[in-house]
Amino acid sequence: MSNLLTIKSGSLTESRRKFLEKTGTSLILATFGAAFFTSCSSTDDADPASPTPSGNSSSGITISGNTISIDLSVQTELTSPGNWLLIENAKTLVANVNGSFVALTSVCTHSGCDRNWTFGNSRFTCTCHGSVFDPSGQVLQGPATTPLTPYTTQVSGTKLVVTR
């Protein structure tokens, strides 16, 4: 008859305790490890509260190559300071900062999230992991360590042109 449980020293109670400690520790590490890797994945769900124009002419936004044209008579909310757009099709953030327009890539330099953004107090926040950037793209708070790429903007009448 073979035993599946072999006790070399100590009592059965001590062996069970060690087994449970090892198993419990492994279970905790596995749980936190899975949570960590899930939270740091580069796939992100769009935040329904974020402004996300489709990039077609009916939205007042036209994307052609490296140029994005925004009709400010259609995207009227962008004319007010503090308002912003996330143009998913062009992976671009556009904001009105105190009456001036700024544009940056929406691809976060931490892990590549490109759709989970908020803007407030003249700061862009990637809600995937909490990196915060100023309107010029500089990192204000990590985990990102590299700035976002800025794009040039030019206004002519009611048209805002972003060149990537």
Whole-number Å distance between alpha carbons of 74 and 54: 13
For 24-93, the three-class secondary structure string (H helix, E strand, C coil) is HHHHHHHHHHHHHHHHCCCCCCCCCCCCCCCCCHHHCEEEECCEEEEECCCCHHHHCCCCEEEEHHHCEE
Tens of pLDDT along 102-153?
Answer: 999 999 999 888 788 999 999 999 999 999 999 999 999 999 999 999 999 9
Listed in sequence order, the DSSP H helices in the chain are 12-39
Sign of the torsion angle spanned by Cα atoms 75, 57, 53, 100:
negative
Q: Is 54 in a helix, a strand, or coil?
A: coil
CATH topology of domain 57-163: Rieske Iron-sulfur Protein (2.102.10)
Tell me the pLDDT of the chain averaged across its residues.
78
pLDDT of residue 164: 95
pLDDT of residue 75: 94
Whole-number Å distance between alpha carbons of 85 and 77: 9
Whole-number Å distance between alpha carbons of 126 and 138: 13
Tens of pLDDT along 81-95?
Answer: 999 999 999 999 999
Sign of the torsion angle spanned by Cα atoms 146, 153, 103, 58:
negative
Instruction: Say if residue 40's pLDDT is above 50.
Output: no
* Full-model pTM: 0.66
Token code pair at residue 36:
């960590």
pLDDT of residue 29: 52
Instruction: Say if residue 51's pLDDT is above 80.
Output: no
Torsion of CA 111, 125, 86, 100, to 10 degrees: -130
Instruction: Give 66's Cβ-side CA count (13 Å radius).
Output: 6
pLDDT of residue 11: 43
For the chain, the domains span 10-39, 57-163
